[in-house]
Structure 1
Amino acid sequence: MKFLSAAALAAGLCLGLGATQAQAAQKALLIGAGEYPYLPPKAQLSGPANDVRAMTQFLEGYWGFSKSDIRILVDGDASKQKILNAIQSWLPGATQPGDRVIIYYSGHGSQIPDTSGDEEDGKDETFVPTDFGRNGDQASDMLSDDEIGRALNMLKGREVILIADSCHSGTINRDIVPGLAKDGIDARPRYLPFSGSSTFFADARDVEPLAREVDTHLNLSAALPHQLAWETNGSGIFTQTLIQGLSSGQADQNGNGRITTAELLNFMRPKTEAWCQGVEQCRELQFTPNVSPRNEAFVLQPVRPAEPVQTVTGDSSEDVSDVLPERERDKIAVRILPGAMHEIGDEVQFQLTSELDGYLTLLDLTAEGKLVLLFPTDEDRAAGKTGKIRANSTLTVPDPSYGFSFVAEAPAGNGKLLAIVTQDRVDLEDLLAANGTFEPIDDKMGFIKEISGRLNTVWTGDTTNRSVSWAAGYKEYEIRP
């Protein structure tokens, strides 16, 4: 049985497992609702169109989006039906499971009476399309959280990030708060009260309802439920601060090259609150960007950076592990018996200890540029071995029941083992079954990219969407002549 050597696929891992979804597709729908032809002048917003331009420049300049990756709906195009068509038709047609979808909305937010009975307080949260008011003050002309949720059902399996620079407040006055112009500040809240009901919405909600009702991997909203989102001098404060933190890297508070949602909020909140202290109406309610679901470890990084990806070459396992997110490092210990240094012809075994309960996949990266699956193989399946590994217990491959050992074979050189443990039951069976004969995998890069895509997709097996739970571990070895 072969025990292959070296690690020429380090660069491939940087593009695959190392850089989250590096080969996945990405699409963005950017909506700017500022000009409302059926509403009075005090309801008009000057910032959304500018916000969309700023987001477009950010996505193209820093996150590697091409013009064809982005669809823009601004003002006259930001009607209810065009927004729904883009979510229900364009995005599903242009993406597939495992891809990233960003939906950005800048404009008025509001609330309307809940008619489906799924809201404890009797209110649905809404975006306000620019054709609102064409039929009078009708709740059906707003885009409710229920409607958005049904539309997003078309995007199952995608990593959906919803960004909303609008208000969803239940505690503010029913009259639109007038724009302010004082000491050079031109400030206006992005809340449109709905006057089509006799109900006075005056109680606060302690959760972000839009985020709760719609099926997203991550929702970034401009303000807490009882607060207002603001624009000034033709730009949303939330959008300005979001782009600043991500594009400059200032939100990377620990300097590790990755920005988590916790770091982003810690960067944004002091800035929005400092601005808020200069506006009297804002001071009363404050201005606190929010995230939901509360996955503070979610990493906000580009699928395709604008600059070319710098890949790692050579056989250093440290270089490869450096590109894995922190939550995936050092959670699997890999040992080689009797040691990590062998002569050609030596028999070897592998012992693996994981911090996670899960299922093991073991790969060998070779000096000849080959990739071989060591576990689970066809023989493992025939023996009923599933690769189930329990947290903090040791799994030996091959164990004595196999009746054979792995043998270190020529050529001599340095090599590397890669162990992956998936805590969630990610479906890798077709990939593993097609490569279970100890022979080098023909399309090694395609294999790595496919595993990467499945591990870095959205897990929908729980009540709240989240990242797949998995970990990786490495072990270098040397085969001497």
Structure 2
Amino acid sequence: MKRIFTLTLFFIFSLLFISTTNLYASKRALLVGISDYLNFPSENSSSKHKIRDLKGAPNDIRLMKQILQKYGFSKKDIKVLFNSQATMQNISYEFRKWLIKGTKPGDLVVFYFTGHGSQIPDQNGDETDGKDEVLLPYNADPETGYNIIVDDLLGSWLRQLKGREVVAIIDSCYSGGAIRGIRGNPVSELYQTPAWLPKYVPLNLRKGYIPPQPEQPLIAKPDIPEDVVFFGASRENQVAYEIKEPNGLFYGGFTLALATVLTHEKNPTYQDVYKQVTEKVWDELNLPQKPVLIASKEILRTTFLKSAPSSAQNISLPQRDYHHVLVALSVQGISDKETELLKKQLSDLPFVKIVSKDSFFDRLITGKKDSGVFHIKLLNRIGDAEKIEPASNIQELVTRIKKHLEYAYIVMQLAKLHNPNPSFKVQAWVSDKNRRDFYLGEEVKFGVRSEKDAYILLVNIDSKGNFHIIFPNKYHQKNFIRANTTLMIPDKTMRQKEFKLVFGPPEGEEIVKVIATDQPLDLKELGITGFNQTFISLKGKARAIFVQRVEQNLTSGKISWSDDTVIIRSHKK
């Protein structure tokens, strides 16, 4: 009897032990997404603030769930708070219950937020810039500051996860200025288009109101604990963007870039992920935001989310059609007859397709007709503007716009030459790896580095759509480089001949494309012959022939290749 009783106690104790340990997960994530805010006035409201709801949170959450499942999280380990579920009170409760109490030291914890952010005056004197960054839950009130999450409070929550491997990913922002800048100086304004939304809301604090603070002050401590990996969508003085993609859906630009990188990478480190996400944000999405990564040097070199990705779990990304430049119209002061004529003449261009401005577009023709003259700007979807010379009739207007649309089409064809799963990587940069905007007159230096011995094609497409073959060139007619060596143009040989490159007029956007192959391409077949000038230039039909023949070589299956693209812009001082 005593033995049976002892065995029974042991059995009960074992069950209790098993059930207790099952309360803890080796991996656990809390995903918070808000598009539709409770207290935001409509765009037609009389509120002094221009406040908009967002549109991309459901798509961001879906991508993050797919990312986590690809990296070993099960569905039961992922909790989602979406829209009305994501109140200040619920986020606080679930962070404590699901993440803090529901995990133990050694576990992997992910906190993700996609939604609006803002800034308020520093509440406890710990910020050098005098401002606290805040996240806006579903029930945040922009007129009073009620129900917001201050960075100090988020930091205190993260500190309670000590001993876990913690990754915080914030797709939000704390500034509202949609600009491009050089070393902190604004150089161009981005016009609002239907294709993007800022993830920022201006915020008032009711007089005397102090937002919820951590129980223990964090003075002299960083907001983000040292043992946490923190990814942010942009710097504190930059906008983070939601953008419309070809499938008609909005996504946080940072989240979309993260998903794109993690779709193809095999065992990236946190530093690898950050570097490639930044390049995607700048050179594929063309956004003027620089993502942020805060982590210790030791953690930076560790594998992202502690595991190799599963090939069985796919990440569903939007795809685009490269056959046409999609053009939308929003011109004031013209008749229906003129609108139809403009659409027809643009549609007669073989590379143009007219779409609604509420659809995904590559270029938006905007402006007005005043006193018989068309005053037009051509915007890309992010709002960079190209001013078109005034035109007195539709035919003249189309003639002026055509060259800009040709440039967009050529860039699109080059973008199509992309290998998402290369066996080796190549990187290109211009003058400064950390910049994409330059002043006219600044010195230009092209850089290339390949992980493998390779034959290099380095092409610069200027703002008029002309191709300039930077490498090979008159001084270096053989285009072979060794692995892990840096190629700079101009190099020492060229500089000895007092050769110097600078950004010259006209100002505008340019593309730099590098293609690296393990077998040499026939340069003559590509139109690269003679080398009578320092750099061979290709114009007109020669550009299309170049792209077509390069594509034929790359898709033949006979060579291994890699590529990289950099978008740069020049501005007047």
TM-score norm. by structure 1 comes to 0.48
User: Which structure has the higher relative contact order (CA within 8 Å, separation 6+)?
Assistant: 1
